[in-house]
Amino acid sequence: MDALEEAWREEQQVRARAAAQARDAAEQDAARATAFIRDIWARTGTGPTWTELGEAMAWPPQLRARVIRLLARDGVLLYSSAPRSLAVVDGSDDE
């Protein structure tokens, strides 16, 4: 195996591990994330930033966007390009 192929394989393994870690975090932290977001909305009238949510959940910085996007795809969260638009989908169970 040449060096280029080895580097490609290593990169694929890194991506696969990151995807698995993000999926695990999304599954484990969905309820806590929705509770945190609801609390921020109740206290401030706006959503948290992605960084604030990630820090509150102790997600590694390199996984935060991936976890949030997974939660959005799963129908738990929604967001737009507007600042602080991160919100909980109505009917999402945070218990």
pLDDT at 59 over 80: yes
| Residues in a beta bridge with 77 | 88
DSSP codes of every residue in the chain: --HHHHHHHHHHHHHHHHHHHHHHHHHHHHHHHHHHHHHHHHHHSSPPPHHHHHHHHT--TTTHHHHHHHHHHTTSEE--SSTT--EEPTT----
User: For the structural domain made of 2-88, what CATH number should be given?
Assistant: 1.10.10.10
For the stretch 4-49, pLDDT in tens is 898 899 999 989 998 999 999 999 999 999 999 999 999 999 999 9
pTM recorded for the entire structure: 0.83
Q: Could you give the CA distance from residue 86 to residue 39 in angstroms, rounded to a whole number?
A: 12
pLDDT at 93 over 70: no
Q: Could you give the CA distance from residue 27 to residue 65 in angstroms, rounded to a whole number?
A: 15
At 95 the pLDDT is 44
